[in-house]
Amino acid sequence: MTIPRTYAAIITAAGRGTRAGGDLPKQWRKLGRDSALARSIGAFAGFSRIIVTVAPQDMDRALAEIAGPVVLVAGGETRSASIRAALETLEGSDITHVLIHDGARPLVSDAVIRGVVDALRAGAQAAAPALPVSDALWRAEGGQVTATASREGLFRAQTPQGFALAPILAAHRAFREGAADDVELALRAGLAVSVTPGDEDNLKLTWPGDFARAERILGNAMDIRLGNGFDVHAFTAGDHVWLCGVRVPHDRALLGHSDADVGMHALTDAIYGALAQGDIGRHFPPSDPQWKGAESHIFLRHAADLARSMGYRLSNADVTLICERPKVGPHAAAMQARLAEITGTDPDRISVKATTSERLGFTGREEGIAAIATATLIGG
């Protein structure tokens, strides 16, 4: 979507959103890997100028969390005061049109934004998305229905609401008492407002249940990645083996450049594979002497941290150890807990189990241990 360079976006995020519940104002709460506000800002990435209004007490958070070429403006006591402050920063600039969007509508689509922009480019003084009311309407009092109301001609307003800059700035200056939204101010000022197509997914986060609904919508566009890992280590002289971070007594040890934790190595490679980031050898070359004898939790923790830095979380992992001995069952719960601790995942999302190769192959001859692991990463 190509946006004229003379079009700016204002994202309102100075409210407190107490009806949505939670410890943070709703615009700062997470939806997937990003805050609701970050998602709203991202939807307008094609605009040459983006202005975000934030409460003065949130300015430090905004400076720390909001990335990219964004102008921050301290909000006022009301929504209208905040928008007026943002509009004032555009006076005298080359900006001719502005789209004003609620920061609590993080799922706005390109199509909705494009509809507003196209209407303005076609000559509309103002344009805003809306959906026709399709449900029956009632009036009620004291928990009882008292009357019905016609839904004919009624629409549910959404944002972004777009305007030619000069008239909407004049309307905000003229009607400082504010209004429910900017379309109401535009109508008071005598501006004609075109209705453009809205979107059911463009919901405004208002109540606690709205976050669950938004998560479900995002779930339809989740980035799900699967990775597989396989590793083998031969036995050598010793009195224990390390398996999935647990020291298991045995009459032999596993031979390797590090501590030879075959299960943890397989899981680490599964995560790297899901990220398309190669394998352990790419990140910790065996030719580097500093990794000789290293504890394998270093590798696994690095892979888990890399996944988080790339916007993914470990949904679940499954590790299968292939050996005749030692017996894994008595230690499986401890292994599960250790892998969960290292990856920062709930233990019930980690599976550790074992099987034999029915006395076939090198594992059947007890020459070593193999491991297969699968990891599921979810982004979005």
Question: pLDDT tens digit string along 159-185?
Answer: 999 999 999 999 999 999 888 899 999
Instruction: Determine whether the annotation assigns residue 60 to a binding site.
Output: no
**Is it the case that residue 29 has pLDDT exceeding 60?**
yes
Q: Is 251 part of a structural domain of the chain?
A: yes
CATH number at residue 86: 3.90.550.10
Instruction: Determine whether the annotation assigns residue 280 to a binding site.
Output: yes
Q: What is the model's pLDDT at position 343?
A: 95
**In this structure, what is the dihedral angle of CA atoms 166, 167, 173, 176, given to the nearest 10 degrees?**
-140
Domain boundary among 195, 219, 243: 219
DSSP 191: -
Q: What is the model's pLDDT at position 222?
A: 67
Question: pLDDT tens digit string along 289-319?
Answer: 888 888 999 999 999 999 988 878 899 999 9
Q: What is the model's pLDDT at position 21?
A: 59
- Per-residue tokens: 330: 């008595």
Instruction: Determine whether the annotation assigns residue 88 to a binding site.
Output: no
Instruction: Determine whether the annotation assigns residue 365 to a binding site.
Output: yes
Q: What is the model's pLDDT at position 250?
A: 96
Q: What is the model's pLDDT at position 2?
A: 82
Instruction: Looking at the structure, tell me whether residues 258 and 355 fall in a common domain.
Output: yes
**Is it the case that residue 64 has pLDDT exceeding 60?**
yes
Instruction: Looking at the structure, tell me whether residues 86 and 167 fall in a common domain.
Output: yes
Q: Is 366 left (phi over 0), alpha (psi -120 to 50) or beta?
A: left
Instruction: Looking at the structure, tell me whether residues 341 and 208 fall in a common domain.
Output: no
- Mean pLDDT across 312-334: 96
**Is it the case that residue 16 has pLDDT exceeding 90?**
no
Q: Is 86 part of a structural domain of the chain?
A: yes
Instruction: Determine whether the annotation assigns residue 177 to a binding site.
Output: no
**Is it the case that residue 100 has pLDDT exceeding 80?**
yes
**DSSP count for the chain of H helices, then E strands:** 12, 19
- Mean pLDDT across 70-99: 95
Q: Is 293 part of a structural domain of the chain?
A: yes
Q: What is the model's pLDDT at position 91?
A: 95
Beta strand pairing call for 155-157 and 193-197: unpaired
Q: What is the model's pLDDT at position 362?
A: 95
Instruction: Looking at the structure, tell me whether residues 215 and 265 fall in a common domain.
Output: no
Instruction: Looking at the structure, tell me whether residues 278 and 241 fall in a common domain.
Output: yes
User: Which phi and psi (to 5°) does residue 284 adopt?
Assistant: -135, 75
Name the pTM for this structure.
0.62
Q: Is 289 part of a structural domain of the chain?
A: yes
CATH number at residue 334: 3.30.1330.50
Exposure class string for 232-259: b at 16+ Cβ within 10 A, else e: bbebeeeeebbbbbbebebebbbebbbb
Instruction: Looking at the structure, tell me whether residues 99 and 183 fall in a common domain.
Output: yes
Instruction: Looking at the structure, tell me whether residues 240 and 202 fall in a common domain.
Output: no
Percent of the chain with pLDDT over 70: 97
Domain boundary among 219, 240, 265: 219
Instruction: Looking at the structure, tell me whether residues 232 and 215 fall in a common domain.
Output: no
Instruction: Determine whether the annotation assigns residue 232 to a binding site.
Output: yes
Instruction: Looking at the structure, tell me whether residues 131 and 279 fall in a common domain.
Output: no
- Per-residue tokens: 73: 């403006």
Peptide bond into 160 cis (omega under 30): yes
**Is it the case that residue 154 has pLDDT exceeding 90?**
yes
CA-to-CA distance for 232 and 240, rounded, in angstroms?
16
Across the chain, mean pLDDT equals: 93
Q: Is 1 part of a structural domain of the chain?
A: no
Instruction: Determine whether the annotation assigns residue 357 to a binding site.
Output: yes
Q: What is the model's pLDDT at position 20?
A: 57
Q: Is 156 part of a structural domain of the chain?
A: yes
Q: Is 368 part of a structural domain of the chain?
A: yes
- Residue 320's domain comprises 223-379
Instruction: Looking at the structure, tell me whether residues 286 and 187 fall in a common domain.
Output: no
Q: How far is CA 343 from CA 174, 229, 286, 291, 308, in A?
A: 57, 16, 23, 20, 10
Instruction: Looking at the structure, tell me whether residues 207 and 248 fall in a common domain.
Output: no
Instruction: Determine whether the annotation assigns residue 279 to a binding site.
Output: yes
Instruction: Looking at the structure, tell me whether residues 279 and 143 fall in a common domain.
Output: no
Question: pLDDT tens digit string along 74-86?
Answer: 999 999 999 999 9
Total domains in the fold of the chain? 2
DSSP 46: T
- Mean pLDDT across 97-124: 96
Q: What is the model's pLDDT at position 380?
A: 59
Instruction: Determine whether the annotation assigns residue 54 to a binding site.
Output: no
Question: pLDDT tens digit string along 249-284?
Answer: 999 999 998 899 999 999 999 999 999 999 999 999
Q: Is 2 part of a structural domain of the chain?
A: no
Question: pLDDT tens digit string along 333-372?
Answer: 999 999 999 999 999 999 999 999 999 999 999 999 999 9
Domain boundary among 185, 219, 253: 219
Instruction: Determine whether the annotation assigns residue 356 to a binding site.
Output: yes
Instruction: Determine whether the annotation assigns residue 142 to a binding site.
Output: no
